[in-house]
Structure 1
Amino acid sequence: MTRICVAGGTGQVGREVVRRALDAGHSVAVLSRNPPPAGSSANIGGAEYFRADVTTGEGVAAALAGADVVIDCLEGRSGKARKNFADGGARLLAAAQDAGAARAVMLSIVNCDRSKYAFYRSKAAKEHVYELSGLETVVVRATQFHSLLAMMFGAGSKVRVIPVARGARFQPVSPADAAAVLLETALEPAPVPAAGPRHRVLNLGGPESKDMADFAREWQRATGVKGQLVRLPLPGAMGRYLREGLNLVPEARHGNETFRGWLENSADSL
C-alpha cells in the first residue's frame, strides 16, 4: 500500500484522484486550505483531510508526513493565490523531500509556457520549480476540461447567446481521465538510478478535437437550452493561445471520455 498525499484533493480533478487511489487500496492524505467537514458529500470516506496552506507553509508538514508520493492538483487562479503559486510549489516540494517522498506529480496545462495569459504563466513558473527540485518530478500537462466549455456555454445562455470563440478548436479532456493519468504516473515503478531524467513533462489530451461551435451544438442537444450561436473574437493572450492551436495536442489523445459522454454522465449537474 502506498501513502499518497493529494494537494488540492477537494477540486474537480483532485477528488477523482482521491477516489481512484482509495479504490485501489492506497492510503490517502488530502491537503486543502478548506477541508470539507466530516459527513459532507465532499468528504470522501477513507481519506484523511489536513488543513494546510502552501502559500504560508502552515500545516503542510503534517499533511505530508509519511507520504511516498505527492500529486499536486492545486490551483491559483487569481490574486494572492496566483502570485504565490510557484512559491507554494517550492514549499510543497521542500516538505515532500523532508517527508521522504520519492516522487511528485503536478497537474498543469498544455503549452502554458508559450502563453502570456497570467494564469498560464503562473503554471509555467511552477513547472520550473518542479524541474529544479531535487525530487523525481513529473508534470502532466492537460488540455482544457470539458467543464470549461460547459461553463462558457452556460454563462452565455443566460442572455440567449451561446458564445463561440472565433477561430478556436478544442480538445477537451475529462477530469476523470486526467486523474487516472496522474495516479498512474505517480505509482509508476521508480527508474533505475541515473538511468533516466529526474524531471519529465507529459501531455494529456482529450479523445477528439473539434471547432468550438461543434461542442456548443452538442451542449445544446444535451441540455435542451436554446440560444443563438454567436462567433465572437477573443482578444488578448488567451485569444492568441487558442488561435495558434496551442491548446491542442493531437499526438497525445489519451483521454477516453468524449464531451458528449461527459455531458451524459454529468446531466444531473448541468
Structure 2
Amino acid sequence: MAVVCVAGGTGQVGREVVRRALGQGHTVNVLSRHVPPAGSAKHHDGATYYAGDVTTGVGLAAAVAGADVVIDCLEGQFGKAKKHFADGGSRLLGAAHQAGVPKAVALSIINCDRSSYSFYVSKAAKERVYADSALETVVVRATQFHSLVEMVFAAGARVGLIPVFKGARFQTISPSDVARALLEEALARRFPENHRMRTVGGPEVLSMQDMALSWKAVTRSHGRVVGFPLPGPMGRYLRAGLNLAPGEKHGSETFVSWLEKRRKTL
C-alpha cells in the first residue's frame, strides 16, 4: 500500500481521488487551504487533513512528509489563485522533492496550451513547471466535466433560456472517472521517460444542442433552448474542437447517467 498526498483533496475531483485511494487501502494525506469538518461532504473518514497554501508554501512540508506520490488536483480559476497557479505548483513540487517524494501527478485540461483563455494559459504554465521538475511527473489532461455544461444550462434556465454555443460539441467526463485515471497514474510503475502526459476524455461526443435537450428532459425545465455565438478565446477553442479527444474515450459515466444520479439536486 502507498502513502498518497492529495493536494486539493476537498475539490470535486480531489474528493473522488481521496475516496478511491482510501477504498483501495492506501494511507491518504489531504492538503487543503481549509480543513473540512468531520461529517461534511468534503471530509472522508480515514484521511488525514492538513491546512496549507501553495501560494505561500505554508503547511506544505507537513502534508507531503512520508508520501510516495503527490496528486495535484488544485484549481485556480480566479484572482490570486489563478495568478499564482504555476508558482503554486512549483512550491508544491519543491516541498515534495525536499521531502524525498519521488513522483507527482497533476490534473490539467485538454489542449490548454492551444488556448489564450486566461485560465487555460495558467494551466499550460503549470504543465511546464511539472515538465521541468526533478521528480517523475505525469500530467493527466481531461476533457471538460459534466458539471461545467450543466452549470451553463442551469444559469440560463433561471431566466427562461437554455443557452447553446453555436458550433460547440463536448466530450464531458465525470470527476469520478478522472479521479480513477489520476490514481492509476500515481500508482503505476515507473516509465522510462521521467515526464509524461496522458489524455482522458468522456465516453461520448455530443453536440451542445443534444446535451441541452437531455438536460431539459431530466430536469423538466421549461426553459427555451436558444443558440448563441460564444465570442473570445473560449469560443474559438470550442469551435475548433480542441476540447475533444475522440480517440481517448476512457470515462464510463455519460452526461445523462451523471444527470440521473443527481436528478433531485439539479
RMSD between aligned residues: 0.8
Aligned counterparts of 2:257 and 2:177: Cα–Cα separation in 1 = 12
Aligned residues: 266
| Corresponding residue number in structure 2 for 1:238 | 234
- After TM superposition, list the pairs within 5 Å mapping 1:158-197 onto structure 2: 158-191=158-191, 196-197=192-193
The alignment partner of 2:189 has SS state of coil
- After TM superposition, list the pairs within 5 Å mapping 1:91-170 onto structure 2: 91-170=91-170
Aligned counterparts of 1:248 and 1:41: Cα–Cα separation in 2 = 31
Deviation at 1:222, TM superposition (A): 0.7
The alignment partner of 1:225 has SS state of coil
| Corresponding residue number in structure 2 for 1:256 | 252
Aligned partners of 2:171 and 2:202 also within 8 Å: yes
Aligned counterparts of 2:168 and 2:230: Cα–Cα separation in 1 = 9
Aligned partners of 2:177 and 2:252 also within 8 Å: yes
Letter in 1 for 2:8: G
Letter in 2 for 1:212: M
| Corresponding residue number in structure 1 for 2:24 | 24
Deviation at 1:40, TM superposition (A): 2.6
**TM-score calculated relative to the size of structure 1:** 0.97
Question: 1:165-194: CA deviations, max 9, x gaps?
Answer: 011000000000000000011000123xxx
Aligned counterparts of 1:235 and 1:204: Cα–Cα separation in 2 = 27
| Corresponding residue number in structure 2 for 1:229 | 225
Q: List gaps (5 residues or longer) in structure 2.
A: none
Question: 1:227-259: CA deviations, max 9, x gaps?
Answer: 111100100000000000000011111111100
Aligned counterparts of 2:112 and 2:128: Cα–Cα separation in 1 = 11
| Corresponding residue number in structure 2 for 1:71 | 71
Deviation at 1:32, TM superposition (A): 0.3
The alignment partner of 2:210 has SS state of helix
| Corresponding residue number in structure 2 for 1:210 | 206
Letter in 1 for 2:214: E
Letter in 2 for 1:183: L
| Corresponding residue number in structure 2 for 1:89 | 89
The alignment partner of 1:167 has SS state of coil
Alignment identity in percent? 62
